[in-house]
Amino acid sequence: MEVCLFLIGHANAHLRETCSPDLSSFELTPRDVEGLRRCVIHLPAESNDCDPLSKTDASTRPRCVLQWYFDDLELLEQALQPKGAIHHIAHESSGTGLIFAQQAMAVRRFDNPNPGKLGTYTERCTYLVSYEGEAQDFNTWLSHYLAHHPPLMAQLPGIRELEIYTRLDYRSGLGIARAAAMQRNKVVFDDSASLAAALASPIRASMKQDFNAFPPYSGATLHFPMRSIYGNLKPK
């Protein structure tokens, strides 16, 4: 199964909210890292409160989220060890004014009616969701979620990508904190207007109904619209 590393960056006390972090070091991702397939840089997007059914405190929004996709967990763990490719680049983050946390997750990719083709570098608009708490019974939660929610999400008008991520135990040599989201989701659209239209559609209301029927779960569910820059490093 394909795996993904999330590096989630929040502003430290010395970075003003109006400042844009310098992420140039992350744009220079090595193209010869074994097993690395693609990378995505997510930056906050203007949302104009586009989701009428989910409100997230703006103070919890990350200043950037980095995704690195690998063929399998062993190859990701190799890159995470001291002197590995990700170790070197992640520690360049000290010059960004951000504090990063790491999380490796399994990737589940779902088909949708209108997938878009990505060039070598493509920019899109993404809605990132994270379930930060715990399910009373994770097997029951995940079984319900995968059976009911992705078929609804795939019907969102204009959707280009749909991925669901579940957490993994993994080895890492990165000297940064670990995030512990139970699950993350990503739905991708061409631009912010397309995302806003999807979130105002009747399908979004159906998703909210299913959300209310989820198995018992405690914790925050965070929703963030992001501007996403894709780098597709190697063909599948």
Please give the domain boundaries of the chain with CATH numbers for all domains: 3-232 (3.30.70.100)
> In this structure, are residues 198 and 154 in contact, taking their beta carbons and an 8 Å threshold?
no
Residue 83: how many CB atoms within 10 A of its CB? 7
Cα 223 to Cα 232: distance, rounded to the nearest angstrom: 25
> In this structure, are residues 9 and 21 in contact, taking their beta carbons and an 8 Å threshold?
yes
Cα 90 to Cα 126: distance, rounded to the nearest angstrom: 23
> In this structure, are residues 138 and 145 in contact, taking their beta carbons and an 8 Å threshold?
no
Q: Is the pLDDT of residue 236 over 50?
A: no
Q: Is the pLDDT of residue 230 over 80?
A: yes
Q: What is the mean pLDDT of the chain?
A: 85
E-strand ranges in 62-160 read 64-70, 98-109, 121-131, 134-135
User: What confidence tens digit (pLDDT) does each residue in 32-62 have?
Assistant: 678 888 889 999 887 555 676 666 666 678 8
pLDDT over 90 for what percent of the chain? 56
Q: Is the pLDDT of residue 228 over 50?
A: yes
User: What confidence tens digit (pLDDT) does each residue in 148-174 have?
Assistant: 999 999 999 999 999 999 999 999 998
Out of 88-97, 149-158, 166-175, 183-192, least confident range: 88-97
Cα 16 to Cα 71: distance, rounded to the nearest angstrom: 37
